[in-house]
Structure 1
Amino acid sequence: MSSRTAGDSQQVASAKAGISVRSGRRIDKGERTEPDAVRQWRTRTDPLKDVWQSECVPLLEREPELTGLTLWEHLEEIYPAQYPFSLLRTLQRRVKKWQATDGPAKAVMFRQAMPPGLQGLSDFTVPNSPVTIAGEPFEHLLYQFRLAYSGWRSVTIIRGGESYSALADGLQSALRKLGGAPLEHRSDSLSAAYVNASQKRYLTDSYNGLCQHYGMRPTTNNLGVSHENGAIESAHGALKHRIDQALKLRGSSDFSDVRTYRVFLFRIVEKLNKRSRERLGEERAELQALPMDRFIDYRELSVRVTTSSTIDVKRTLYTVPSQLMGEKLRIHLYHDRLQCYLGQTKVLQLPRVYPDKPDGRARRIDYSHIIHSLVCKPQAFRFCQFRDDILPGAFYRQLWSLAEAQFTPQMACKWIVNVLRIAHDYDCEQLLVRGLLKEAEDVELPTLETLQSRYLPRTNVPPIPVRQHCIIDYDELLEGQWTAQEACHG
């Protein structure tokens, strides 16, 4: 208007104001639109006018969580071809508006401000990225303990399921790292403490005893309300994201052994804990002192060693040294290992193995426990029930296939058993099999005599003169004449 007053044309004045010429003419005529004006009328006929109040609203009042797609499919079924798919978005917006204005009240999240030293939380989770150990899939869970105030956390690798021994091991390891215990320990309805129907009383008593040992009050969130455990649930997401990123940065999810994988996780957790260093200092001052000893974190079993030098524990067959055959062993069963006691003496520790299926069976055969007995009767190897498990790995199974193809069945058994004995006696399991497979590529497998000449110790036997007695001397011995004669000569 100032430009027009100064004598500028409509085009020039509109260009200076940054509007169109048409808008300039409308302003000249006094036709102005209020910037905050709200349109109160519809620009088209409501396509849902006949069914919204009569069909849709009653359904939403009965089941407020119905979606727009479900309502559209319902209308399509009752009124075929009258409400096209193009109305779906309109129906979804209408449902969303109804839920916001006329729907039921929603649950409100009340953010908590925990005082220091009051609450620690536990839970199990499954990593997003699959991990392998020496090329083999590594099935495991991650147990995480976290302090509600400072956010400090500890992570433990767990084999098997959410057992009491897994919970007790992870929780006590975390408290030992922390150097104190909170007043309250919170979890969801862990099967380790509350659910297992067949052993519910045993597990509940053990969990309560664990909490009493450390002076913690056990609490749990309401069943199915995971947000009540949000301080640990949200921490799972951050932890798994960090693990995924670290694996991508590393370029591989394969680890040489479990210890290397444990160190990998420890470094990730340490980086996460750096953020809570200051608040952790405040919280440590409020924690309870720890008792001197750990609480029991295993189950105790009693098994007898069979004549096959095996024990059967939780649907898994383990070999033990043949010296223990016939003995009764006391087993401390942890989530990742078995500690075997003969009386009060610890005689053996074995890594725990789990079946692939809950109702299946597994084997953990260590050839070193039975090899010296197998060498005495090598033909037993051929039809042994756990023959393939005796061979330590895929390379040895390949070696057995080559031996079967090259030698007779009897010689093949004798050959492979002696290879296993050499591998055990000289501690050269991997080096030996690789050398033999490479030799088989060039020529063929060496004979048993060649192997023995290479590896078995050579002893220099001194020459022993042999004198053959006369037959008559034996007759004299039987008749007693020889003794009398020797006595006379004496």
Structure 2
Amino acid sequence: MPGKKITDHQVHKYKQHRNQLSQVAAAAKAGISECSARRIEGSDTLPSQKPARDWRTRKDPLAPVWEGEVVPLLRQDPLLNGVTLLEELQRRYPGQYGTGVLRTLQRRIRQWRAVHGAERDIFFAQEHPPGRLGLSDFTVADDLAVEIDGAAFPHRLYQFTLAHSGWRHAVLVASGESFLALSTGLQAALWKLGGVPEEHRTDSLSAAFNNLAEKQELTRRYESLCEHYGMRASRCNPSQSHENGSIESRHDSLKTALDQALRLRGTRRFDTQSEYERFVDTIVQRFNARVSKALAVERPMLRLLPARRTSEYEELPARVSKYAIFTVKGVQYSAPSQLIGHRVMVRLYPQQVECWLGGQCVLKVPRATSQGGQRHPRRIDYRHLVAALKRKPGAFARWVLRDAVFPRDVYRQTWERLSAQLSERDACKTMVGLLALAAEGHEAQLADELEQVLEMGQLPDLEALTELVAPRRGDVPDVAVQLPTLAGYDALLEVAQ
């Protein structure tokens, strides 16, 4: 092979095979060329007995410029590569340095860096005693292309893992990397694990660390959370993801397993978010089954859980406006009209929003998430507003929240058909009537009927649909029940005797 020196062993093997085989066959057996075989037969010395070569086979093309020009440039900036330096030499000496010298220049640069280059980072392998270290991190899972009820579902996965055994717990996060998501996911993992590690490590999460402070201080809420569970908080250095490698590698393995399981499933569509959460939990449990023996060793080393969890929500005050709307963190929610004018305490959970008034929960709705690049998400429940709309149906046509009130796409399509073919007054009365009918518990059935009506190119008949999905109950006849006298029971007892 070119560039490789022939060893003494190859020479001995060649001579051994040469006694029985031809020169070509013996050279092939020894792994040398036929030309090398001829040289061996013409020499009485072994390769190790020959003096070291102290001459060049060709003139060094870089000799005139290496020490005087290339080395000073490398000392000025060691990250300059061979292509850049060759182009600079070509500008300084036109026609003298072609592309054929590039490999030589790159080899010389690599050798120079090995002796005179800057120090490089060293990776220090770590031991992870059982019960000492737990790690948390978020990872974006949009590449899984999951759909919920036919719509794209951008989301993240929060994952907690033990460094020693590899036990893990994953939670779906539809919002950002907030402290609320961190607190909820971490506490769910610890209580499912049944113990607490000595140290909890994250990367530069803004939910856990004040990255704007000079000393990178812990946020107060995260510090209180760690104190509640008796954990020591730590973090890896900024932009050094390998220092958090125990969790980063598990992100890759989890997303790969989810992708493969989705491919095996044959579809990436789920009817509800809860169904997808169960799917993720199934994959995580498969990973945990593989580390059950290591977990059995580590679990006795964990610290005891506290008596209770700490709060898993964020409280913010809000006022319900005259539009039956309250705003929390730039997100609009509808509320029943009875709450108009009241100041409520809103509890923000990762998946839901609760409104408390005077120590009583008066409203509980799913938390709104941004979809399709929406800057200010909305969660408008038509059930809160349909009673008022029935009294003022004409307000529906130019209502600011009109497009957010439709519970399903078929209702929006129905409004577009009605507004195009009927007068504004009639279209509003019909649409509000349909929403009122849906609010009585017939949303899904009415949606199916409206789809059939739209497919036939017709307009919905409110009275006919009302009779179909919510027929009127017949009159209940009055039944007079006459109770027997107690004396009759005495007569029966006498007959029995």
Q: Same fold (TM over 0.5)?
A: yes
What TM-score does the superposition give when structure 2 sets the normalisation length?
0.82
For 1:21-49, what per-residue CA distance to the aligned partner results, in whole angstroms no more than 9, with x for missing partners?
Answer: 87666555436662797765443333333
Equivalent residue number for residue 458 of structure 2:
444
The 3-state SS of whatever aligns with 1:145 is strand
Equivalent residue number for residue 197 of structure 2:
182
Equivalent residue number for residue 57 of structure 2:
43
- CA–CA distance in structure 1, aligned partners of residues 15 and 250 of structure 2: 62
Q: Is the 8 A contact 2:210 2:217 kept in 1?
A: no
Kindly state the Cα deviation for residue 271 of structure 1 after the two structures are TM-superposed: 1.9
Question: Which range moved further: 357-366 or 297-306?
Answer: 357-366
- CA–CA distance in structure 1, aligned partners of residues 39 and 191 of structure 2: 79
- CA–CA distance in structure 1, aligned partners of residues 82 and 439 of structure 2: 69
Kindly state the Cα deviation for residue 156 of structure 1 after the two structures are TM-superposed: 1.0
Q: Is the 8 A contact 1:67 1:92 kept in 2?
A: yes
**1:98 partnered with 2:112:** yes
2:270 to 248, 251, 255: 255
- CA–CA distance in structure 1, aligned partners of residues 149 and 270 of structure 2: 6
Question: Which range moved further: 413-422 or 18-27?
Answer: 18-27
2:121 to 107, 113, 116: 107
Equivalent residue number for residue 301 of structure 1:
316
Where does the alignment leave 5 or more consecutive residues of structure 1 unmatched? 463-490
The 3-state SS of whatever aligns with 1:191 is coil
Sequence identity of aligned pairs in percent?
Answer: 44
- CA–CA distance in structure 2, aligned partners of residues 101 and 169 of structure 1: 51
Counterpart amino acid of residue 171 in structure 1: L
Equivalent residue number for residue 395 of structure 1:
410
Aligned residue runs from structure 1 range 233-272, under 5 A: 233-272=248-287
**1:75 partnered with 2:101:** no
For 1:33-72, what per-residue CA distance to the aligned partner results, in whole angstroms no more than 9, with x for missing partners?
Answer: 6279776544333333333322332232333233323333
Check 1:86–1:360 CA distance in 2 against 1; reply closer, same or farther (3 A cut). Answer: farther
Where does the alignment leave 5 or more consecutive residues of structure 2 unmatched? 1-13, 477-497
Q: Is the 8 A contact 1:163 1:335 kept in 2?
A: no
Check 1:336–1:86 CA distance in 2 against 1; reply closer, same or farther (3 A cut). Answer: farther
The 3-state SS of whatever aligns with 1:121 is strand
- CA–CA distance in structure 2, aligned partners of residues 385 and 243 of structure 1: 41
Counterpart amino acid of residue 237 in structure 1: D
Check 1:129–1:449 CA distance in 2 against 1; reply closer, same or farther (3 A cut). Answer: closer
Question: Which range moved further: 306-315 or 343-352?
Answer: 343-352
Counterpart amino acid of residue 207 in structure 2: A
- CA–CA distance in structure 2, aligned partners of residues 150 and 321 of structure 1: 50
2:230 to 215, 221, 243: 215
Check 1:437–1:56 CA distance in 2 against 1; reply closer, same or farther (3 A cut). Answer: same
Check 1:88–1:419 CA distance in 2 against 1; reply closer, same or farther (3 A cut). Answer: farther
Counterpart amino acid of residue 141 in structure 1: R
Equivalent residue number for residue 389 of structure 2:
374
Equivalent residue number for residue 52 of structure 1:
66
Equivalent residue number for residue 210 of structure 2:
195
The 3-state SS of whatever aligns with 1:269 is helix
The 3-state SS of whatever aligns with 1:370 is helix
The 3-state SS of whatever aligns with 2:417 is helix
Check 1:25–1:274 CA distance in 2 against 1; reply closer, same or farther (3 A cut). Answer: same
2:182 to 163, 167, 172: 167
**1:407 partnered with 2:422:** yes
- CA–CA distance in structure 1, aligned partners of residues 317 and 193 of structure 2: 35
Equivalent residue number for residue 487 of structure 2:
none
Q: Is the 8 A contact 2:355 2:364 kept in 1?
A: yes
For 1:185-225, what per-residue CA distance to the aligned partner results, in whole angstroms no more than 9, with x for missing partners?
Answer: 11112100213659x99971111110010010111222232
- CA–CA distance in structure 2, aligned partners of residues 240 and 181 of structure 1: 26
1:334 to 334, 344, 349: 349
Q: Is the 8 A contact 2:446 2:469 kept in 1?
A: no
- CA–CA distance in structure 2, aligned partners of residues 185 and 231 of structure 1: 12
Counterpart amino acid of residue 426 in structure 2: M
1:428 to 434, 442, 450: 442
Counterpart amino acid of residue 129 in structure 1: L
Question: Which range moved further: 38-47 or 404-413?
Answer: 38-47
Counterpart amino acid of residue 446 in structure 1: P
Question: Which range moved further: 213-222 or 342-351?
Answer: 342-351
Kindly state the Cα deviation for residue 175 of structure 1 after the two structures are TM-superposed: 0.2
- CA–CA distance in structure 1, aligned partners of residues 410 and 189 of structure 2: 40
Check 1:179–1:83 CA distance in 2 against 1; reply closer, same or farther (3 A cut). Answer: same
Check 1:376–1:85 CA distance in 2 against 1; reply closer, same or farther (3 A cut). Answer: farther
Kindly state the Cα deviation for residue 383 of structure 1 after the two structures are TM-superposed: 0.5
**1:279 partnered with 2:268:** no
Kindly state the Cα deviation for residue 167 of structure 1 after the two structures are TM-superposed: 0.8
Counterpart amino acid of residue 439 in structure 1: V
Counterpart amino acid of residue 313 in structure 2: Y
The 3-state SS of whatever aligns with 2:144 is coil
The 3-state SS of whatever aligns with 2:119 is coil
Q: Is the 8 A contact 2:211 2:217 kept in 1?
A: no
2:172 to 144, 152, 157: 157
- CA–CA distance in structure 1, aligned partners of residues 191 and 28 of structure 2: 76
Equivalent residue number for residue 419 of structure 1:
434
2:147 to 123, 132, 155: 132
**1:34 partnered with 2:44:** no
Counterpart amino acid of residue 30 in structure 1: S
The 3-state SS of whatever aligns with 1:312 is strand
Would you say how many aligned residue pairs link Structure 1 and Structure 2? 460
Check 1:57–1:430 CA distance in 2 against 1; reply closer, same or farther (3 A cut). Answer: farther
Check 1:44–1:375 CA distance in 2 against 1; reply closer, same or farther (3 A cut). Answer: farther
